[in-house]
Structure 1
Amino acid sequence: MGVFSRMSDIINSNINAMLDKAEEPEKVVRLIIQEMEDTLVEVRSAAARAIADRKELERRVEYARRESDEWQRRAELAINKGRDDLAKAALVEKKHTDTAREALQGQCHEVELGLAKLNDDIAALQGKLADAKHRQKSFELRHHTAANRLKARSRTHDERINNALGRFEHYERKLEHMEGRVEAYDLGKQRDLDREFADLETNDHVEAELAALKERMGSETAAAKE
């Protein structure tokens, strides 16, 4: 598993756990950065171990090279002394030493490749970490601003609603008061109207009685003359 795959698994696991607990977004961002910093420490530690391994392998390669040269010198010395048997034995040892040295060189090459990969990982991780820290500041600022705006908007909307309702109730009371005054005037007018109609009915009754009285008195006067 690669460094970044492992880091991604750890971060996603912790983020999901925090989101399940409804943690604040800033905490999630800080956790991501902390995980990246911890991973960077681990990668640097791995690189330090790889450098130490490379140095040790390089020392062993150099030792094997010197040992091979020594066996070569001994083989040449044996030939000069007419000891072909010793020369052959020295060349056999030289062959073993060269084989071991080649194996060590192969290991050293693998360590070099691994170290180059770790170096790339460190550079990439440092870039991602720097970007994350930069974005963290922007994220926190945006979140705080949004939270404050939301709180202000919520408070403003509540106040506006309350104010609107208060004004509505105020004007409703004023309207009811006006309607009451109108009804009061109408009640007065209704009484005046009733009185006028009563007066008209009384006048009609009086006129009728007056006419009847005149007719009766006229009849009586006519009877008296006869």
Structure 2
Amino acid sequence: MAVFSRVRDIFAANMTEILDRAEDPARMIRMIILEMEETLVEVRASAARAIADGKEMRRALSRLEALQNSWTEKAELALSKDREDLAKQALIERQKATDMAEGLREEIEQIDATLRSYEADIAKLQAKLREARARQNAIASRLESAVSRAKARELLHGNRTEDAFSRFEMLERRADLAEGQADALALEGPKGLEEELNELRSSDKVDEELAALKAKMAERKKD
């Protein structure tokens, strides 16, 4: 009866409602699956015992039916010998065997009905178990997806990402500075031939003007 009570409770349970109320759905569904598996094992064990009992009762019924035939033959033999008293006793014994056989048939019918109930319960339990395992896989997938999304959000919006981009910007600034310095050095590089010649021409002119100025001042002193 305890097994049947547990089975009925499982059948009556609304798995979605149970999971919605649970604080930890993954843990709850593991407990539900464990309960179903244990109950399924118990139901199958009870069904196996019922099958064994049914087989034993059918063997006993066969023996009782053979005994009834035997007492019928004995009653007929007694009547053939004009021993009605013995025939009557034989019929009494046959009736006892008949009553016992009827009792066994009723018990066998009850066992068969119980087995049909077990078979139906086993099928329903297996269906519920498949549903629970499917829910378990779905919950596991959702949890894995949620963890992946959380990691992605943390990567996109977390401090680690901001620090990384800050380092990128610092490196870019250093690269810009280095490039600017290289460009400046290129501008201040060695003078070209044309530039040196122009400087020499300018220097000659300055020297000529200086010499002319000196000569002019010398003439003024003589005067």
Same fold (TM over 0.5): yes
Map of 1:76-225 to 2, 5 A cutoff?
Answer: 76-153=76-153, 156-157=156-157
CA distance in 1, matches of 2:98, 2:64: 7
Q: Tell me which residue corresponds to 2:200.
A: none
Unaligned runs of 5+ in 2: 167-223
Give me the TM-score of the superposition, normalised by structure 1: 0.60
Q: Tell me which residue corresponds to 2:215.
A: none
8 A Cα contact 1:64 1:100, kept in partner: yes
Q: Tell me which residue corresponds to 1:58.
A: 58
Q: Deviations over 1:100-130 (max 9, x none)?
A: 1001100000000000100111111112212
Question: Quick one: which amino acid aligns to residue 113 of structure 2?
Answer: L
CA distance in 1, matches of 2:147, 2:7: 33
Q: Residues 4, 45 of structure 1: CA spacing in aligned structure 2 closer, same or farther, 3 A cutoff?
A: same
Displacement of 1:83 in angstroms is 0.3
Unaligned runs of 5+ in 1: 167-226
Q: Deviations over 1:119-170 (max 9, x none)?
A: 11111111221232223212200122123324543664555xx89xx9xxxx
8 A Cα contact 1:11 1:35, kept in partner: no
CA distance in 2, matches of 1:82, 1:32: 73
Question: Quick one: which amino acid aligns to residue 121 of structure 2?
Answer: D
Which structure has more relative contact order (CA 8 Å, sep 6+)? It is 2
Displacement of 1:52 in angstroms is 0.8
Displacement of 1:10 in angstroms is 10
Aligned length: 157
RMSD: 3.1
Q: Tell me which residue corresponds to 1:4.
A: 7
CA distance in 1, matches of 2:77, 2:56: 31
Question: Quick one: which amino acid aligns to residue 130 of structure 2?
Answer: A
CA distance in 2, matches of 1:11, 1:48: 29
Displacement of 1:60 in angstroms is 1.2
Displacement of 1:6 in angstroms is 4.3
